[in-house]
Structure 1
């Protein structure tokens, strides 16, 4: 009898050389972000990216509210890295955890798609849709407008650098930043210290249990999202950088001719 072909190796999470480079860059991003986070003045470099993650957090509340038939009244970003989403109706058991988990999921999606230039381009288009919804809901909040329009300008500029390679690393950075900030936010608000009012405390009032226990549960889910983003990126995108750059998918070279 002929031996059964071993299909298992095709499913192994074995990164290619280009993927190993991306994983190393992601690790460098983590170290740099953690260092800058705790250095006075230099941590201001992370300020706009922190606010962007807060924007993802609030967008996730609003989007889940939209899916559960809530009326979204407004989104507001605070200069002190806070935010608020006002809505009427919806299902609190779904809209309340959506902020933390949604921003983690968005970050994980950005990490996964950063393993392929073409997927990173698609991801930025999806982010653009996020921006449009958020700008509509935050149409009276000047900080949100300034932040998202500036970030959109940066993304567009990176499309034209090295035919999308720079965009790939920008999406990776935004994904790592979003995941790390979401993880820190959960720990800081719900585990390390008791907050009088938070998404978790409101969630606990609706479904029962302790807000810190829910915080730990959400933290575990966010960590799973983070790891899944890397694993999915490695498994799903195996083309080399040369193959990706050779593709004509959403190619910016046409604008330079």
Structure 2
């Protein structure tokens, strides 16, 4: 076997990696096209859910109370949490970074799960249940109430009734959406702040800058590098020797 082909386990792996890359590229192009954003609207809301759940779960890990998750109709959102004590700088920076890294972590786990049929079904069941449960526990917005349980129910149906090939495609598609969701608004990663619900807010990298002093653009570069490493690792473990 030639050296060029030996990197992939099988020809099917080569085709699958090509498909994942194509899905990612097409999704990014659609996000920035006039009507593509409407086609991908549910997945934009899902990307926001991944992002805000990253903040909320990280806050809980550092002892804070995750109170609510709000998603606006334009796809923006926020996770509200509070702590009885002053958080450390490391905790504040980690909670801010978790929103940026959370979607990629989830996406990589889904891609890895697609390698085995049993894991594929577990991933669909777990994600579907998490979407519905988180809506009941934390979500406090109409957009979230409508979109998130709908996606969750669809995933449960696919997990329980779908063909193995459909389950695999669903997991891989969702994995790609998680991995590339940062590119939906890449400028946010390298901005100090923006407008949320009509109010000026610090960006996540702006919060990291406030906690750890180095400029927001530096942390944008670090986050981008970490995302690239995670995606390459997931593809290597899932499809490469």
Match of 2:193 in 1: 195
SS of residue paired to 1:69? coil
Q: 2:65 aligns with which of 68, 71, 94?
A: 71
Match of 1:135 in 2: 135
Match of 1:153 in 2: 153
Query: Which sections of structure 2, spanning at least 5 residues, go unmatched?
Result: 1-5, 195-201
Give 1:40-59 correspondences, 5 Å limit. Answer: 40-59=34-53
RMSD (Å), alpha carbons: 2.2
Match of 1:216 in 2: 221
Could you tell me how far apart the structure 1 residues matched to 2:231 and 2:18 are? Answer: 15
Give 1:24-173 correspondences, 5 Å limit. Answer: 24-89=18-83, 91-159=91-159, 160-162=161-163, 164-173=164-173
SS of residue paired to 2:153? helix
SS of residue paired to 1:74? strand
Could you tell me how far apart the structure 1 residues matched to 2:204 and 2:130 are? Answer: 21
- 1:39 CA drift (Å): 2.5
- Does structure 2 retain, via aligned residues, the 8 Å contact 1:112–1:231? no
Pair 1:207–1:194, CA change in 2 (3 A): closer
Could you tell me how far apart the structure 2 residues matched to 1:52 and 1:211 are? Answer: 25
Could you tell me how far apart the structure 1 residues matched to 2:21 and 2:139 are? Answer: 36
SS of residue paired to 1:72? strand
- 1:145 CA drift (Å): 2.1
Pair 1:88–1:150, CA change in 2 (3 A): same
- 1:125 CA drift (Å): 2.7
Could you tell me how far apart the structure 1 residues matched to 2:39 and 2:184 are? Answer: 17
Could you tell me how far apart the structure 2 residues matched to 1:206 and 1:69 are? Answer: 18
Could you tell me how far apart the structure 1 residues matched to 2:14 and 2:117 are? Answer: 15
In the TM superposition, structure 1's runs of 4+ consecutive aligned residues that sit over 3 Å from their partners are none
Task: Count residues in correspondence.
Answer: 223
- 1:161 CA drift (Å): 2.8
User: Greater CA deviation, 17-26 or 98-107?
Assistant: 17-26
Could you tell me how far apart the structure 2 residues matched to 1:151 and 1:59 are? Answer: 16
Could you tell me how far apart the structure 1 residues matched to 2:128 and 2:240 are? Answer: 26
User: Greater CA deviation, 72-81 or 125-134?
Assistant: 125-134
Give the TM-score, by structure 2 length.
Answer: 0.84
SS of residue paired to 2:193? coil
Matched, 1:228 2:228: no
Query: Which sections of structure 1, spanning at least 5 residues, go unmatched?
Result: 1-11, 237-257
- 1:13 CA drift (Å): 4.5
- Does structure 2 retain, via aligned residues, the 8 Å contact 1:59–1:130? no
Match of 2:199 in 1: none
Pair 1:208–1:194, CA change in 2 (3 A): closer
- 1:140 CA drift (Å): 2.8
Pair 1:133–1:60, CA change in 2 (3 A): farther
Could you tell me how far apart the structure 1 residues matched to 2:156 and 2:132 are? Answer: 15
